[in-house]
Amino acid sequence: MGRSLTGTVIITGGNGQLGSEIAIAIAKTQPFAHILLTARDIKGADVRNLIAKVRLIGPRSIEVISLDLNDLRSVTGFAQSTVERVRSNEIPPLVDLIHSAAIASYTVDELTLDGYDPVYQTNCVAPFFLTISLLEAFRAGNGTPGGGAKVINIGCSAVSYGRLDYFDRDRGRGDRRLGTPISAKEGNVRYGSSKLLASVALYALRRSLTSTGKISLDIFTLDPGGMAGESNLRSGAPLSVRVAHQTRSGLRPFLRMLSRSSMNKANVPAKVIAKVAFQRDAVETCQAERYYILDREYEAGSVIPTLRNGSQMGKVLVKMMQQTEIGGKGTRSTGSVSPGSALC
Ligand SMILES: NC(=O)c1ccc[n+]([C@@H]2O[C@H](COP(=O)([O-])OP(=O)(O)OC[C@H]3O[C@@H](n4cnc5c(N)ncnc54)[C@H](OP(=O)(O)O)[C@@H]3O)[C@@H](O)[C@H]2O)c1
């Protein structure tokens, strides 16, 4: 390509509705980024179609690597190999990690091999574990504009249904048989709880990293808003969920107010994400955590009130560290996260 690559961007769920549009938007605007997409089935037709579309944009450095978030060994293997490839200069340091992969489920599911509700593991435990496992691969920042790297957690307005203790009680299972349908309401609480916990845990991680001062990594949530089109998130949902998605009538008032563009094609939020991912701005302080709804920026604590409760944040971070410790025993790459410092 005649010029060296500027940094690696990882997009999980790279073959999904939003993930593939983010890849296209970045390919269009960042010709010197190395785009590393993850997918469960790297040989699938959606992956082939996406690569073909990117090739039409121009010569780009793009690859697709297998990653199953429902298996923490897969996360460990992917992270270790990525850190090693960065160390050996095979690929440039990470500048962006975009957590786009997610699932929703409206049935009672078997726990994962790691022992978690698959919705919780895919949307929360595994993205958190992936983030800490990749810390060594991020481009070192110095707090100056353009100095740091970013972790963008793709959020969702369903966080307003979420509860921090939802998965403690292992709801959605109880003594019900596997495959039993669950109500739309319960499914939304389950999905919203997984997305809420992911946001809280990642903001807590950010505080912890900021307070240790060793890694300047900006971590924030971006809600893409409602998206028209084929998303697997809705395919197994009860009819009421799909209708609510179309009308956005299910949103609580404050989110309805914030949701100025109720429904877009996925390429609209994808363009915003591609822009935000490469925005050159100073690494924020603890007090200035941002939360995006499309391209609008909010103080994160105004959207997720838990962020104002230091002790709750600390508890979520400790729990998440313990859960990922089990999954990645002896394999994690950093010792620089201190749960106590999430309380700043
Ligand atoms: N769709 C909406 O209206 C909407 C609204 C607000 C926010 N969001 C958020 O936007 C993001 C993308 O949603 P989307 O609509 O693009 O969903 P989607 O089309 O269903 O894509 C989801 C992606 O996640 C991947 N995935 C699922 N389980 C996985 C696992 N165990 N390991 C690795 N990857 C896995 C899927 O891969 P497979 O193909 O292998 O299943 C797929 O690539 C999500 O975080 C979602 O919460 C969506």
Question: SS3 for 51?
Answer: helix
| C-alpha of residue 123 to centroid of ligand 1, in Å | 9
pLDDT at 325: 82
By most ligand atoms within 8 Å of CB, the mutation choice from 40, 66, 75, 119 for ligand 1 is 40
pLDDT at 156: 96
Instruction: Please work out whether the CB of residue 130 comes within 6 Å of at least one atom of ligand 1.
Output: no
What's the CATH architecture for 7-334? 3-Layer(aba) Sandwich (3.40)
Task: Please identify, by atom number, the ligand 1 atom nearest to the C-alpha of residue 68.
Answer: 32
Helix axes 239-247, 184-212, angle to 10 degrees: 60
| C-alpha of residue 213 to centroid of ligand 1, in Å | 33
pLDDT at 280: 82
pLDDT at 227: 94
> What is the pTM assigned to this prediction?
0.91
Residues of the chain under the 70 pLDDT cut? 1-2, 140-147, 170-174, 214-215, 234-235, 240, 242-262, 282-287, 326-344
pLDDT at 256: 44
pLDDT at 336: 46
Q: Label residues 288-321 b or e (16+ Cβ within 10 Å = b).
A: ebbbbbbbeebebeebbebbeeeebbbbbbebbb
